[in-house]
Amino acid sequence: MSRGERAGDATPASRTPSAGHGFPEEPGDAGIRWQRPSPRLLRARRIQAALVTGPAALAAGLAVGLTVSLALGLGAGLLLVAAGLLSERLLARRVAAWGYAERNDDLMVRRGVLIRRQSVVPYGRMQFIDVTAGPVERSLGLATLRMHTAAAASDARIPGLDRAEAAKLRDQLAALGEAQAAGL
Amino acid sequence: MTSKAAGSSPAAADDFASWHRLHPLSPLVRAGRQLLTIVVLVLVLFFANHHGAGSDLVVNLLLVAVLLAGGVVSWLVTRWQVADGVLRIETGLVRRQSLRFPLSQVQAIDVVQTGLARVLGLAELRLRMAGADSSGGRLASLPLADAEQLRRRLLSMARAPGAVAAGGPAVTAGGPAVTAGGPVAPPGTEGASGQADDDGADGDGAADDAQERLLFRVRPGRLAAAIIMSRTGAIAAIVIAAMATAVALTGQPGVVASFLPFGLGIVLAVWRQFNGEYGTVVAAAADGLRLRSGLVQTTAETIRPGRVQAVRLVEPLVWRAFGWCRLEVDVAGPRQRRENRSESQRLRALIPVGSRADAAQMIGELLRAQPVPSQRAPRSARWKAPLTYHFLAWGSDDRYVVASRGRVCRKTTWVPLEKVQSVRWVQGPVQRRLGLASVRLDVAGKRVTASIGDREAAEAHEILRRLPGLASNARKRAQPA
């Protein structure tokens, strides 16, 4: 858990306008004001990764250690911890890739490192918006905002928003959606 | 069916406003499928082992009885009503449900007849709503004539409030209605013969049925040939070949038995497709496109104008040699229940198999303009999509976007810009290396996505920047000022 605490003293700034550290620029970015999730998202993701890796390593180590040999069990546990640490290296980049932009008629969301995605969802197409917060997110005062359209394939969500920010954005989007609503 | 039925059915017709029951024989129809399975099971058991079959028989008969009793109870507690532009269904004994279906939200209405229902002269009415998860309304079963009449009533009621509530579709409703007024087939020629061919699936043709204009009728011979030459046919050929080699290698015909499950599956798949698409007739009428099909189980469906979310033209390799193709449409609606899963995974085929001219005519009927996929993918896309590069292209005008791809099977998808729900830009690792990116357009419906595949990254960004604006313009145009 010490990793999570270290991340705690990151910069407190939220809603950083446009390119920050590790925020990959795209050629089409001109004129788009990207906003970023809260920096605490990284901590949330780290805690989540630790919560998966720790028990998994422990269980695998115990299972192998008790049934096969102690050395192998230690090895298996360490291997899983190493895998967790490796994925932690990628987490920072993945978290940094998230961004969203409120434009005049639509909301734009970008994410992904290996597979980069940008979604444009017109406000008038939003069917409903939900805000969820899992236990880890809740303990850090974060929430995930998800927009649903009539198309099942549309996938626009913004994780790691400040809870107040998420509520504000939700109301804002709902109002915009109502104003621009279009029939199917 | 008899005097009992006349009492419970709205034979007087014009008032659907009071509460009605379903047809008393509907439990039998509903149990039909399971009944058939059980009968087969009983027969198999009976012939397989003579001893002990007796007790199994009793168990099975008990099962049938329970099933029927459940059906009768569910029939007893189910009633429906049409009032104030809303279809209400109340059902359930233990868990009482009251369902409301606002007719202005109806996407399409189907009349479905299973084999048994057809023998009994019954039909099921299915309402397709827009929501992706909620199941639509089902009225199973009604006498066929009533079902037809109710469907007409519901559609006309759906259009009336729709003119106020759902502005977009109401405007487009003007299009086909006007064209239908032009070359109206007199009620003795092709329109009527289309119905006669359909084994009276349309019952006694009422006045507005005569206003239909026949657009397409599938040829049974060509359908059979096309299914044999499709993927299903290829799989069947492989299975048969495998069987033949197995028999030849071992010299024992008994090994065929191990292939039986595969064989049965194939036969079922072929049968389902043939049964579903046999005798497909598409006609334009004032209330939308009328689509009827089916050999044993018949389906009559009306697709309301302006509710088509996507049109897809599929040309498999072998079919291309004959100049055949398949035209599918996607209408917004729920992924259907489990029993209909095979249906719902495929899009509705307006043309199960037809010539290119048929398809072109039908596309002209569905879309007001027909852009062609003229912009080929850049050369570097060859490395990412060595096969599909062959037909990889897209095109657009101010109303539609069209995208095509494929090598073995060419798929061309038209999406009206006013229906676009969201636009996605995607770049995978290989694409990034090659300087490419894809843009996807999502529409409401069964996961149809027009994928503008593998464009230059800069062009993809340009598309992503331009399309939302075009789509919003198209939406504004579709809505009344």
- Calculate mean pLDDT across residues A140-146: 91
Question: In this predicted structure, what is the pLDDT of residue B339?
Answer: 39
Residue in B128, B133, B308, B421 to test binding to A, most A beta-carbons within 10 Å = B421
Question: In this predicted structure, what is the pLDDT of residue B439?
Answer: 92
Identify which of B168, B426, B467 has the shortest CB distance to residue A115.
B426
How close, in Å, is residue A171 to chain B by CA atoms? 20
Using the predicted structure, report yes or no on whether residue B416 has a pLDDT greater than 50: yes
Using the predicted structure, report yes or no on whether residue B162 has a pLDDT greater than 70: no
A125 touches chain B (CB under 8 A): yes
- Calculate mean pLDDT across residues B285-307: 81
Using the predicted structure, report yes or no on whether residue A12 has a pLDDT greater than 50: no
- When pLDDT is cut at 50, 70 and 90, the band that residue A4 belongs to is very low
Residues of B in contact with A27 (CB under 8 A): 457-458, 461
ipTM over 0.85: no
Contact: B422, A121; criterion CB under 8 Å = yes
Question: In this predicted structure, what is the pLDDT of residue A27?
Answer: 63
SS3 state at A110: strand
- Sheet with A106-111, strands from edge to edge, namely A99-102, A106-111, A116-122, B420-427, B436-443, B449-456
A124 touches chain B (CB under 8 A): yes
- When pLDDT is cut at 50, 70 and 90, the band that residue B188 belongs to is very low
Secondary element (H or E) of residue A140: none
Chain CA centroid to CA A57, Å: 24
Using the predicted structure, report yes or no on whether residue A26 has a pLDDT greater than 70: no
Q: For chain B, which residues lie within 8 Å of any Cβ of chain A, measuring from their own Cβ?
A: 107, 130, 132, 166-169, 307, 309, 332, 418-429, 432, 440, 442-445, 447, 449, 457-458, 461-462, 464-465, 467-469, 471-472, 475, 479
Average model confidence (pLDDT) across chain A: 80
- When pLDDT is cut at 50, 70 and 90, the band that residue B34 belongs to is low
Query: Which of A35-49, B90-104, B122-136, B212-226 bottoms out in mean pLDDT, i.e. has the lowest?
Result: B122-136
Question: In this predicted structure, what is the pLDDT of residue B108?
Answer: 76
- Calculate mean pLDDT across residues B224-253: 84
Question: In this predicted structure, what is the pLDDT of residue B335?
Answer: 47
Contact: B423, A120; criterion CB under 8 Å = yes
Question: In this predicted structure, what is the pLDDT of residue B91?
Answer: 83
Query: Which of B152-161, B304-313, B361-370 bottoms out in mean pLDDT, i.e. has the lowest?
Result: B152-161
Question: In this predicted structure, what is the pLDDT of residue B9?
Answer: 41
Question: In this predicted structure, what is the pLDDT of residue B142?
Answer: 86
The whole-angstrom separation of Cα B15 and Cα A66 is: 76
Query: Do the Cβ atoms of B72 and B64 come closer than 8 Å?
Result: no
Question: In this predicted structure, what is the pLDDT of residue B325?
Answer: 92
Contact: A116, B427; criterion CB under 8 Å = yes
Identify which of B332, B422, B467 has the shortest CB distance to residue A119.
B422
Question: In this predicted structure, what is the pLDDT of residue B336?
Answer: 43
- Calculate mean pLDDT across residues B66-89: 84
Identify which of B444, B457, B472 has the shortest CB distance to residue A150.
B444
- Calculate mean pLDDT across residues B258-284: 83
Question: In this predicted structure, what is the pLDDT of residue A6?
Answer: 38
Identify which of A28, A115, A125 has the shortest CB distance to residue B421.
A125
Closest CA to B283 of B205, B166, B393: B205
**Cβ neighbours, 10 Å, residue B158:** 28
pTM over 0.95, yes/no:
no
- When pLDDT is cut at 50, 70 and 90, the band that residue B47 belongs to is low
CA dihedral over B175, B178, B181, B182, signed as positive or negative: negative
Using the predicted structure, report yes or no on whether residue B200 has a pLDDT greater than 70: no
Query: Which of A167-171, B96-100, B407-411 bottoms out in mean pLDDT, i.e. has the lowest?
Result: B96-100
Contact: A183, B440; criterion CB under 8 Å = no
Residues of B in contact with A117 (CB under 8 A): 424-427
Using the predicted structure, report yes or no on whether residue A34 has a pLDDT greater than 50: yes
- When pLDDT is cut at 50, 70 and 90, the band that residue B53 belongs to is low
Question: In this predicted structure, what is the pLDDT of residue B275?
Answer: 84
Closest CA to B440 of A123, A35, A154: A154
Using the predicted structure, report yes or no on whether residue A49 has a pLDDT greater than 80: yes
- Calculate mean pLDDT across residues A167-171: 90
Residues of B in contact with A122 (CB under 8 A): 422, 468, 471-472, 475
More confident residue, B412 or B36: B412
Query: Which of B220-229, B331-340, B360-369, B456-465 bottoms out in mean pLDDT, i.e. has the lowest?
Result: B331-340
The whole-angstrom separation of Cα B422 and Cα B447 is: 12
Question: In this predicted structure, what is the pLDDT of residue A53?
Answer: 87
Q: In this predicted model, what pLDDT tens digit does every residue of A69-125 receive, in sequence order?
A: 888 888 888 888 898 888 888 888 888 889 999 888 889 999 888 899 999 998 888
A12 touches chain B (CB under 8 A): no
Question: In this predicted structure, what is the pLDDT of residue B1?
Answer: 36
Contact: A151, B445; criterion CB under 8 Å = yes
Query: Which of B34-48, B322-336, B361-375 bottoms out in mean pLDDT, i.e. has the lowest?
Result: B34-48
Using the predicted structure, report yes or no on whether residue A154 has a pLDDT greater than 80: no
- Calculate mean pLDDT across residues A37-66: 88
- When pLDDT is cut at 50, 70 and 90, the band that residue B64 belongs to is confident
Residue in B106, B303, B422, B436 to test binding to A, most A beta-carbons within 10 Å = B422
Using the predicted structure, report yes or no on whether residue B168 has a pLDDT greater than 80: no
**Cβ neighbours, 10 Å, residue B60:** 17
Question: In this predicted structure, what is the pLDDT of residue B112?
Answer: 84
How close, in Å, is residue B261 to chain A by CA atoms? 34
- Sheet with B86-91, strands from edge to edge, namely B79-83, B86-91, B97-102
- Calculate mean pLDDT across residues A12-30: 53
- When pLDDT is cut at 50, 70 and 90, the band that residue B402 belongs to is very high
Residues of B in contact with A152 (CB under 8 A): 132, 442, 447
More confident residue, B367 or B61: B367
Chain CA centroid to CA A6, Å: 19
Question: In this predicted structure, what is the pLDDT of residue B231?
Answer: 79
Question: In this predicted structure, what is the pLDDT of residue B480?
Answer: 58
CB pairs under 8 A between A and B: 104
Question: In this predicted structure, what is the pLDDT of residue B273?
Answer: 83
Identify which of A118, A119, A183 has the shortest CB distance to residue B168.
A183
Contact: A149, B449; criterion CB under 8 Å = no
Question: In this predicted structure, what is the pLDDT of residue B167?
Answer: 33
Question: In this predicted structure, what is the pLDDT of residue B66?
Answer: 82
- Calculate mean pLDDT across residues A137-143: 90
